[in-house]
Amino acid sequence: MRDHGYSDARRGQQFCGANGDADVVGIPGIHIEVKRVQALNIDKALKQAQNDAKDNETPIVAHRKNNEKWKITMDAEDWFRLLKHIDPDFGFV
Protein backbone atom coordinates (compact mmCIF):
# COMPACT_ATOMS: atom_id res chain seq x y z
CA MET A 1 0.00 0.00 0.00
CA ARG A 2 2.87 2.34 0.73
CA ASP A 3 4.18 1.74 -2.79
CA HIS A 4 0.89 3.21 -4.03
CA GLY A 5 1.08 6.37 -1.92
CA TYR A 6 -0.73 5.24 1.23
CA SER A 7 2.06 6.15 3.65
CA ASP A 8 -0.19 5.89 6.73
CA ALA A 9 -1.01 2.22 6.07
CA ARG A 10 0.41 -0.17 8.66
CA ARG A 11 -0.32 -3.51 10.28
CA GLY A 12 -3.25 -3.53 12.65
CA GLN A 13 -3.40 -4.66 16.26
CA GLN A 14 -4.10 -8.34 15.52
CA PHE A 15 -0.39 -8.95 16.14
CA CYS A 16 -0.91 -7.76 19.72
CA GLY A 17 -3.69 -10.23 20.43
CA ALA A 18 -6.70 -8.00 19.80
CA ASN A 19 -9.62 -9.56 17.93
CA GLY A 20 -11.79 -7.83 15.38
CA ASP A 21 -9.23 -5.25 14.35
CA ALA A 22 -8.37 -4.75 10.70
CA ASP A 23 -5.19 -6.42 9.47
CA VAL A 24 -4.13 -3.12 7.88
CA VAL A 25 -5.07 0.28 9.30
CA GLY A 26 -4.47 3.82 8.10
CA ILE A 27 -6.93 3.88 5.19
CA PRO A 28 -9.96 5.79 6.53
CA GLY A 29 -13.31 4.16 5.84
CA ILE A 30 -11.87 0.80 4.72
CA HIS A 31 -11.66 -2.34 6.86
CA ILE A 32 -8.90 -4.49 5.36
CA GLU A 33 -8.66 -8.21 6.00
CA VAL A 34 -5.44 -9.70 4.56
CA LYS A 35 -5.06 -13.33 3.53
CA ARG A 36 -1.89 -14.76 2.02
CA VAL A 37 -2.64 -18.43 1.50
CA GLN A 38 -2.63 -20.90 -1.35
CA ALA A 39 -6.22 -22.06 -0.78
CA LEU A 40 -8.62 -19.35 0.38
CA ASN A 41 -12.28 -19.58 1.27
CA ILE A 42 -13.04 -16.08 -0.02
CA ASP A 43 -16.63 -16.14 1.23
CA LYS A 44 -15.45 -16.90 4.76
CA ALA A 45 -12.74 -14.22 4.57
CA LEU A 46 -15.19 -11.59 3.30
CA LYS A 47 -17.71 -12.52 5.99
CA GLN A 48 -14.97 -12.02 8.60
CA ALA A 49 -14.20 -8.57 7.18
CA GLN A 50 -17.92 -7.69 7.15
CA ASN A 51 -18.42 -8.86 10.73
CA ASP A 52 -15.37 -6.97 12.00
CA ALA A 53 -15.91 -3.72 10.05
CA LYS A 54 -17.32 -0.73 11.87
CA ASP A 55 -20.53 0.87 10.56
CA ASN A 56 -18.60 3.58 8.68
CA GLU A 57 -16.11 1.15 7.06
CA THR A 58 -16.24 -0.71 3.77
CA PRO A 59 -15.00 -4.29 4.28
CA ILE A 60 -12.52 -5.69 1.76
CA VAL A 61 -10.23 -8.71 1.56
CA ALA A 62 -6.74 -8.25 0.12
CA HIS A 63 -5.41 -11.66 -0.87
CA ARG A 64 -2.82 -13.45 -2.92
CA LYS A 65 -1.16 -16.78 -3.50
CA ASN A 66 2.61 -17.21 -3.68
CA ASN A 67 4.14 -15.63 -6.79
CA GLU A 68 0.86 -13.95 -7.78
CA LYS A 69 -0.38 -10.37 -7.72
CA TRP A 70 -2.49 -9.00 -4.90
CA LYS A 71 -6.25 -9.02 -5.46
CA ILE A 72 -9.06 -7.18 -3.68
CA THR A 73 -12.47 -8.76 -3.08
CA MET A 74 -15.52 -6.87 -1.88
CA ASP A 75 -19.29 -6.90 -2.29
CA ALA A 76 -20.50 -5.43 -5.57
CA GLU A 77 -22.77 -2.96 -3.74
CA ASP A 78 -19.74 -1.57 -1.90
CA TRP A 79 -17.83 -1.37 -5.20
CA PHE A 80 -20.59 0.63 -6.88
CA ARG A 81 -20.90 2.93 -3.86
CA LEU A 82 -17.15 3.64 -4.05
CA LEU A 83 -17.35 4.25 -7.80
CA LYS A 84 -19.76 7.11 -7.16
CA HIS A 85 -16.93 8.94 -5.38
CA ILE A 86 -14.53 8.78 -8.32
CA ASP A 87 -13.97 11.88 -10.41
CA PRO A 88 -16.34 11.69 -13.42
CA ASP A 89 -13.42 12.56 -15.72
CA PHE A 90 -11.51 9.55 -14.46
CA GLY A 91 -11.11 6.81 -17.01
CA PHE A 92 -9.56 3.38 -17.07
CA VAL A 93 -6.70 2.95 -19.47
**Whole-prediction pTM value?**
0.80
Q: What CA dihedral angle connects 18, 20, 21 and 23, to 10 degrees?
A: 100
Q: How far is CA 32 from CA 6, 8, 79, in A?
A: 13, 14, 14
Domains plus CATH for the chain? 2-83 (3.40.1350)
Which DSSP letter does residue 67 get?
Answer: T
> Cβ(74)–Cβ(58) under 8 Å?
yes
In the chain, where does DSSP find H-type helix? 42-52, 76-83
Tens-binned pLDDT, residue by residue, of the chain (93 aa): 888 887 888 788 755 545 678 888 878 899 999 999 999 999 999 999 999 999 999 999 999 999 999 999 999 999 988 888 776 666 554
